[in-house]
Amino acid sequence: MAWCHQPPIVDAAGFQEGNIMNMVVFRRCQSALGVAAVMALALVASLVFAAMPAAAVTLSRADAGTFLRYEHGGEQVIGVMAKDSTNNYYCIEADERVEYQLGESVKLRDDDTARRLGWLMDHYRDGTAAEHAAIAVLAHDLLDLKPDTWKSRRVSVMRDNPTLRRKVEQMWEEAGSNAPANATVTRTYAEGTRTGRVTVSVTNAQGKTIAGIRYAATLNGPAVFANGSATVTGISGAEPIVYSWKATGEGEVKASVAYDRKQVDVFAVAGGQDLVRYGGSSQVSGKAVNFSVRKEFVPTLGTAVAAKVVDAGQPVVDTVTSGVDDGDSWASGLELRASGWYFDGLVVGDLSEPVMPGADETAKEFIARLGTMGFRPSAYGEASFTAPGQRVDVRATAEPGGDAAYEAPRGGGFGTWVWAFEVEKLSDTARQYIGKDVVSGFLEYTETNSNRARVSVESTVTEHTGVVGSELSDTITVDGFPDDHGSFDGNVKLGIGADRAMAQVSVWWAGDPNDSAGDEAYRPQGETPPAEDSNHRLIGVWDYPAVNGRIRVGAGAPDAHGDPVHIVAESHGWYVFVWSFDGDDRVMPASSAYDDAWERVRIWDVARPRKPALTTQVEPDIVRVDEPFRDTARIVGDVPEGAYVTFTAYEAVEEGAVPGMNGVLLDEARAEVDHTLFEQTIVSPQVRSPKAGLVYWRASLRSRDGDVLVSHELGVEGETVTVEAPDDPPAEPKADPEPEKPVLSHTGAGVVAIIVVGSGAAAAAIGALAFRRRSRR
């Protein structure tokens, strides 16, 4: 046995006094404690110690070099008083005998004192005698059960070891700086609530970050660290340590941290010396933090047509911009492909409020629902995005995923886009982030445009030649306007303007005012009328409704305001009718050509003799589908050298349809005329019609220069073939026979025109135009 602070006895061989095992057993102190003292000790223990019993241990005496000596009623020691295989033991009860057989221990209550002492005992496990003495002094200062007794001994300790006082102060401060008192975990978001960082710090009692402390950080909830685990472990550094995390779903996550904290074991021996030792480390919880996470995000599509008004035949372009819902964020680098559908041919009655998809309606279901309402896509688009705020100009294609560009329809109408991110079309990676389809509405204001219709105009003057004083007139056929054109007042929400209700017909004169022989030099040239001058004059302009149908201009027929129109040729020269429309948001600008041979009249000073007559007759006038037929033209009268006949046959149309506004089966086919014959018959090539209906013909006698000498209106008697549907499927069509040579004429529609004879200048006055222009844009 030994008394607390009594120096151990060491023999010459360096072994401490004891039994053969160099082990002695703690004995109870010779002075028994009174009942009151025992109760006091129990009270103190209940306040100071946490009941964490440990197994009994057997000790040996302290090694030399682990304590300092001092005088206090004899030689005493301060430092390590005993040891086991791994730990040093320090006494906390002055002037009590030390026994070397201990029972169970308890943990010193976890506070700053225990943390610092535990850290010192562990850190200086192999320290110097002075360092061990300083630990012993601190243990007595903080834990001694007999503070008055220790106080007198402390004076002796410091007297005989004058540097120890500073050592005690230094080591206590050092322990305060290095003993962990807390650990904190904080979180930050990096990519919305989908990814972020967790920062782990272990701090001392002063709140400063300290290094070298083991810890474990854990995520409880739908999130993991970058390593795919919900837990990471490490050793603290002088700076906070950062870990990345990522959401695996949606919900609340708790980030917590547990760290190692040093402990002190207390061996309380009734009637003997109480001892303390390093009690190892225990993981304790630091401060935790809760936060919300969400892996998925909701992308958005901002769309707007590039042009509110698109002309027929032009591409349709939509500007699509990617985005995310409020509070969301795009997954870094994630590619999303959007699909677009373009619907055309909408009419004014379709422009109601937008049609929106249901909350859980997929794009496919929404497009199908629109189909049941009569709306089907005519064009398509695709766009790819890898971040919000990206903008793509998408040109509509004729097929999904195709390369062929879609062109706005000739017939016009309104058009609108629908765009969507379709989950079923996304990549496997993208589907991890997008929970359901994102679909835009139908007829959204920014996504709706007007496709302007292209108008067709066909016209012919009543007489192509005349004399001064003749009354001039024209028949104009217009097609291509929307059926309700003139009634649309515009739509402010859609940004589309109102209809222009009127078109105009102007009449121009061109020639030499002083000499009719000079008129030929001013034959109308070019598509647009020239500026007015002494050789070009605007005779008048009249308004007519901008609608489909036939317009009669002149000869007393009223204009749009109900006023009769009379146009009289007051001078020799050329008179030209020009129909024009300035355009609006639903119809493109259009005009007949100034140099259209069908739209001009040559006026002479006096009438010319020998007027040729043109009589035409189809053969036969009733056929079945794919059976051949033709037209004949009988000419009687003087024909100028170089004159020829042209034949045009229009595709079959239903009865009541406006003729001449559709395609052709035969287009201005030319047949030569013998100018030496006074009477002759010209035959057109044979044609066949693949469908039933009425086929309208037109034959025209033209001069060498292309001027129309004589012609007729569409639909005159003898110039229409009725094509009937076959009773049985038609046989394979046979090759057309060779055109027949001219034969004598049949009775039919007859037209008389003035023919030019005489001088070369007069003959050249018949205008030149090889092909007829129907209309121009």
**Per-residue pLDDT tens over the stretch 315-329:** 999 999 999 988 788
List, in sequence order, every residue forming a beta bridge with 232; answer none if it has no partner. Answer: 217
Give the CB-side neighbour count of residue 66, counting CA atoms within 13 A. Answer: 17
Between 198 and 773, whose confidence is greater?
198
Which of 640, 652, 609 is closest to 708 using CA atoms? 640
Residues of the chain with CATH 2.60.40.1930: 456-604
Query: Which residue is listed with tokens 């990096």?
Result: 190
If pLDDT is split at 50, 70 and 90, which confidence band does 7 have? low
What's the pLDDT at 527?
A: 95
CA distance 450 to 191: 41
What's the pLDDT at 653?
A: 95
DSSP letters spanning 104-131: --EEEPSSHHHHHHHHHHHHTTT--HHH
- Residue spans of alpha helices (H) in 252-395: 363-372
Task: Tell me: pLDDT of 25 over 70.
Answer: no
If you average pLDDT over residues 731-749, what whole number do you get? 47
CA distance 75 to 60: 20
Which of 548, 594, 553, 549 is closest to 574 using CA atoms? 594
With H, G, I as helix, E, B as strand and everything else as coil, classify residue 342: strand
Query: Which residues does 277 contact at the CB level (< 8 Å), separation at least 6?
Result: 84, 87, 88, 89, 90, 105, 121, 264, 265, 267
Task: Tell me: pLDDT of 739 over 70.
Answer: no
Task: Tell me: pLDDT of 672 over 70.
Answer: yes
Residues 649 and 619 sit within 8 Å (Cβ to Cβ): no
User: What is the torsional sign of CA 40, 41, 43, 44?
Assistant: positive
Of the listed ranges 28-37, 123-132, 157-166, 193-202, the least confidently predicted one is 28-37
Task: Tell me: pLDDT of 18 over 90.
Answer: no
Query: Which residues does 173 contact at the CB level (< 8 Å), separation at least 6?
Result: none
What's the pLDDT at 101?
A: 80
What's the pLDDT at 405?
A: 96
Between 754 and 64, whose confidence is greater?
64
CATH architecture for the domain at 613-755:
Sandwich (2.60)
CA distance 198 to 289: 10
**Residues of the chain with pLDDT > 90: what percent?**
72
What's the pLDDT at 392?
A: 98
Residues of the chain with CATH 2.60.40.3260: 182-265+273-294
What's the pLDDT at 592?
A: 96
CA distance 177 to 170: 11
Exposed e or buried b for every residue in 472-498, given b needs 16+ CB within 10 A? bbbbbbbbbbbeebeebeebeebbbbe
Query: Which residues does 638 contact at the CB level (< 8 Å), separation at least 6?
Result: 610, 612, 678, 755, 757
Residues 120 and 141 sit within 8 Å (Cβ to Cβ): no
What's the pLDDT at 194?
A: 86
If pLDDT is split at 50, 70 and 90, which confidence band does 748 have? very low
Taking the CB of residue 702, how many other CB atoms lie within 10 A of it?
Answer: 27
**182-265+273-294 classified as CATH 2.60.40.3260:** yes
**Residues of the chain with pLDDT > 70: what percent?**
86
Task: Tell me: pLDDT of 44 over 80.
Answer: no
Which of 595, 592, 648, 650 is closest to 475 using CA atoms? 592
Of the listed ranges 1-10, 59-68, 293-302, 552-561, the least confidently predicted one is 1-10
If you average pLDDT over residues 674-696, what whole number do you get? 94
If you average pLDDT over residues 741-745, what whole number do you get? 40
End-to-end CA distance of the chain: 123
CA distance 562 to 543: 10
CA distance 84 to 755: 141
pLDDT in tens, 588-633: 999 999 999 999 999 998 765 566 888 999 999 999 999 999 999 9
Report, in angstroms and rounded to the nearest whole number, the Rg of the chain calculated over CA atoms.
Answer: 55
pLDDT in tens, 364-386: 999 999 999 999 999 999 999 99
Task: Tell me: pLDDT of 712 over 80.
Answer: yes
Between 567 and 638, whose confidence is greater?
567
| C-alpha torsion angle, residues 360, 365, 366, 371 (rounded to 10) | -160
Q: Which two tokens stand for residue 417?
A: 């886009």
Task: Tell me: pLDDT of 556 over 90.
Answer: yes
Task: Tell me: pLDDT of 231 over 90.
Answer: yes
pLDDT in tens, 494-536: 999 999 999 999 999 999 999 998 999 999 999 999 999 999 9
If you average pLDDT over residues 4-32, what whole number do you get? 36
Interstrand relation of 97-98 and 88-91 (parallel, antiparallel or unpaired): unpaired
- Residue spans of alpha helices (H) in 516-591: none
Residues 746 and 616 sit within 8 Å (Cβ to Cβ): no
What's the pLDDT at 606?
A: 77
Interstrand relation of 465-467 and 600-604 (parallel, antiparallel or unpaired): parallel
Residues 592 and 776 sit within 8 Å (Cβ to Cβ): yes
Query: Which residue is listed with tokens 């639909």?
Result: 715
Between 97 and 685, whose confidence is greater?
685
For the entire predicted model, the pTM comes to 0.63
pLDDT in tens, 453-500: 999 999 999 999 899 999 999 999 999 999 999 999 999 999 999 999
CATH topology of domain 299-451: Immunoglobulin-like (2.60.40)
CA distance 670 to 645: 6
What's the pLDDT at 38?
A: 37
With H, G, I as helix, E, B as strand and everything else as coil, classify residue 322: strand
Residues 777 and 588 sit within 8 Å (Cβ to Cβ): yes
| CA max distance for the chain | 166
Task: Tell me: pLDDT of 745 over 80.
Answer: no
What's the pLDDT at 760?
A: 36
| Average pLDDT in the chain | 86
What's the pLDDT at 767?
A: 34
pLDDT in tens, 170-185: 999 999 999 999 999 9
Task: Tell me: pLDDT of 49 over 90.
Answer: no
**Long-range contacts (CB closer than 8 Å, 24 or more residues apart) made by 496-499:** 496/308, 496/309, 496/414, 496/448, 496/449, 496/450, 496/585, 496/586, 497/584, 497/585, 498/584, 498/585, 499/546, 499/584, 499/586, 499/587
What's the pLDDT at 752?
A: 40
What's the pLDDT at 6?
A: 59
Query: Which residue is listed with tokens 């765009």?
Result: 419
Q: Which two tokens stand for residue 295?
A: 């892996």
What's the pLDDT at 660?
A: 86
Of the listed ranges 72-81, 425-434, 751-760, 763-772, the least confidently predicted one is 763-772
Of the listed ranges 30-34, 334-338, 584-588, the least confidently predicted one is 30-34
Residues 52 and 112 sit within 8 Å (Cβ to Cβ): no
pLDDT in tens, 567-589: 999 999 999 999 999 999 999 99
Residues 363 and 424 sit within 8 Å (Cβ to Cβ): no
pLDDT in tens, 130-150: 999 999 999 999 999 999 999
* Cα 491–Cα 493–Cα 497 angle in degrees, nearest 5: 35
Taking the CB of residue 27, how many other CB atoms lie within 10 A of it?
Answer: 16
What's the pLDDT at 605?
A: 87
CATH architecture for the domain at 456-604:
Sandwich (2.60)
List, in sequence order, every residue forming a beta bridge with 257; answer none if it has no partner. Answer: 217
If pLDDT is split at 50, 70 and 90, which confidence band does 726 have? confident
